[in-house]
Structure 1
Amino acid sequence: MLRRLPRALPRLPPAAAAARSVVTAVPLAHVEVGDRGDRPPVVLLHGLFGSHGNFSTVAKTLVRRGSVKPDLVERLISVDISPVSSTPVSEFSAYISAMKLVKIPDGLSRSAARQLADDQLRPVVQLPQLRQFLLTNLVEVEGHYTWRVNLEAISHHLADIMNFPVFHEPYPGPALFLGGSNSPYISSKDYPEIQRLFPKADVQYIKGAGHIVHQDKFEDFITAVLNFLPPP
């Protein structure tokens, strides 16, 4: 339904107007794996605190073992996330607070800095593989160790990031919601909304995997993805 716009838009405060005037589009950081040629790509999107390197091994494995056919762009795989608000089950707020409290003196080697940060995160982030994932964001800039992600911005907008917009039109293509059996991010209470928005969806769980499914059970994850994609 179209909504009629007012005849005159409200005047923005000077600071807001100036901020909006300098907003520009930026290139999307990405890495291409394999020789795509004229075939459509399989696009892998990482999650919060991630980077393009998170799915590097997955991408290379899919290139080696799979094929890319024209209808692959018409399929969707959602890895351990539902089309609902994730705020009730998310612990990211606690992780952000712990990351903000990490103190690393200058002059340490990268390995020593990571170990020190790992020790400081351990009381809050108890899973070793999750700490290692967060520590991929620890970088050295001009002799100082810092987080490459904007923790203040993420913290300020975390509720928006964890929320899911309201959609009325369903996605008509095949979809796979692939969760970890030890993760709360795809719950049975989400099934009605998944079915409403993705009527051709299948929900599967990989036994023994947590939220970072591809890291916890790599081979099982690759097998599930390839089974969902069309055969060569």
Structure 2
Amino acid sequence: MSALCRLIRRGVLSGRPLCHSFPGQQHQRVGRAAATVRTVSSASPVNLTYDVFDGKGGSTPLVFLHGLFGSKSNFHSIAKSLVQRTGRKVLTVDARNHGNSPHSPAMSYEMMSEDLKHLLTQLHIEKCVLIGHSMGGKTAMTTALMQPGLVESLVVVDISPAQTTTRKTFRNYIQAMQEIKISSDIPRSTARRMAEDQLRSLVKERSVRQFLLTNLVELNGHYAWRVNMEAIAAHLDTIMSFPSFDTVYEGPTLFLGGASSAYISSDDYPEIQRLFPYADIQYIPDASHWIHADKPLDFISSIISFLQS
């Protein structure tokens, strides 16, 4: 019998919810946060929520970090397949201000790296294979450069240690999400259609609209964004940038880009080689920025080949 997913959720079920209710007008601007999300101070690491897919083998676990506006569920099908094919334990993790992890007014790659270190310490994981997509890839790189002893090897998915040039696009996403108004006490399917209709003017690609709508949650008949829109908007320039490092990570590293994406360009190669001298750079044909969604089998095969090399 193949390894089954054992779902484990970590501590964010206590504390004050960000939003209990909304004003009573017919149409209301979509607020923030589901009832299970709490706010924490910016000074200390947050207790990240995560899912565990348990493998039978004893090899180093794989830890997946999602991108901006994503969540740990983005990698569930990938995680299940990798458990079956490698026998390794796989974790998928919600970043701060995303999914079911706590909200914090502060957001930087150094902080998100400390959050991850805090989680790995709690789980008694001394080393992991770190796999991060986009924002999660920058968190993974930061962790490898700040805490190289935690990272046995590194996979960076369609992002580089450089300034991301699409910040205007993400500002449009944020503006569109903040302006949405949805009626109360309507079916979820109706609410999603209403939200998607309003997103169309600023978010042209249907696949991106569907991705953003994974963050729309229902609470007592009202609809809210589970991501912390205020913190993301306030720190978008930081999220689009990357910290400066003089250190290097000398472990095995794979930069895996989408051939139809511009997030890893040849202009980035010198900085990749400076910080990650043992990096290999590969591209998956016909894949956009969301490689794992566009080409899941190729994505899984690339990771397995990297693990076996």
Q: Which structure 2 residue ranges, 5 or more long, are not aligned?
A: 1-39, 90-126, 130-150
For the structure 1 residues 191 and 141, does the alpha-carbon distance in structure 2 shift closer, same or farther, using more than 3 Å as the test?
same
From 80, 89, 102, the equivalent of 2:166 is 89
Which amino acid is the alignment partner of residue 276 of structure 2? F
**Sequence identity of aligned pairs in percent?**
53
From 49, 68, 81, the equivalent of 1:61 is 81
1 or 2 for the larger relative contact order (CA 8 Å, sep ≥6)? 1
Q: State the SS of the aligned residue for 1:75.
A: strand
Count of residue correspondences: 211
For the structure 1 residues 174 and 22, does the alpha-carbon distance in structure 2 shift closer, same or farther, using more than 3 Å as the test?
closer
Aligned twin of 1:100: 178
59-68 or 188-197: bigger deviation: 59-68
Q: State the SS of the aligned residue for 1:167.
A: coil
Runs of 4+ in 1 over 4 A off after TM superposition: 20-24, 69-73
For the structure 1 residues 211 and 145, does the alpha-carbon distance in structure 2 shift closer, same or farther, using more than 3 Å as the test?
same
For the structure 1 residues 21 and 55, does the alpha-carbon distance in structure 2 shift closer, same or farther, using more than 3 Å as the test?
closer
Aligned twin of 2:65: 45
Aligned twin of 2:124: none
What's the Cα RMSD here? 2.2
Query: 1:60, CA displacement in angstroms?
Result: 0.7
Which amino acid is the alignment partner of residue 44 of structure 1? F
Distance in structure 1 (CA, Å) of the matches to 2:41 and 2:71:
29
Which amino acid is the alignment partner of residue 251 of structure 2? G
For the structure 1 residues 224 and 48, does the alpha-carbon distance in structure 2 shift closer, same or farther, using more than 3 Å as the test?
same
Q: Which structure 1 residue ranges, 5 or more long, are not aligned?
A: 1-19
From 202, 205, 211, the equivalent of 2:289 is 211
Larger radius of gyration: 1
Q: State the SS of the aligned residue for 1:104.
A: strand
- Counterpart contact for 1:77–1:176, Cα < 8 Å: yes
Give deviations 1:104-135, integer Å, cap 9, x for gaps.
Answer: 11121111111111121122222222111111
Q: Does 1:157 align with 2:270?
A: no
For the structure 1 residues 37 and 28, does the alpha-carbon distance in structure 2 shift closer, same or farther, using more than 3 Å as the test?
farther
Distance in structure 2 (CA, Å) of the matches to 1:114 and 1:30:
26
Using the size of structure 1 for normalisation, the TM-score is 0.84
Distance in structure 1 (CA, Å) of the matches to 2:236 and 2:184:
30
Using the size of structure 2 for normalisation, the TM-score is 0.64
Distance in structure 2 (CA, Å) of the matches to 1:200 and 1:119:
46
Distance in structure 1 (CA, Å) of the matches to 2:189 and 2:290:
23
Q: Does 1:198 align with 2:276?
A: yes
Aligned twin of 1:120: 198
Q: State the SS of the aligned residue for 1:107.
A: coil
From 126, 132, 137, the equivalent of 2:215 is 137
Q: Which has the higher strand share?
A: 2
From 241, 253, 274, the equivalent of 1:175 is 253
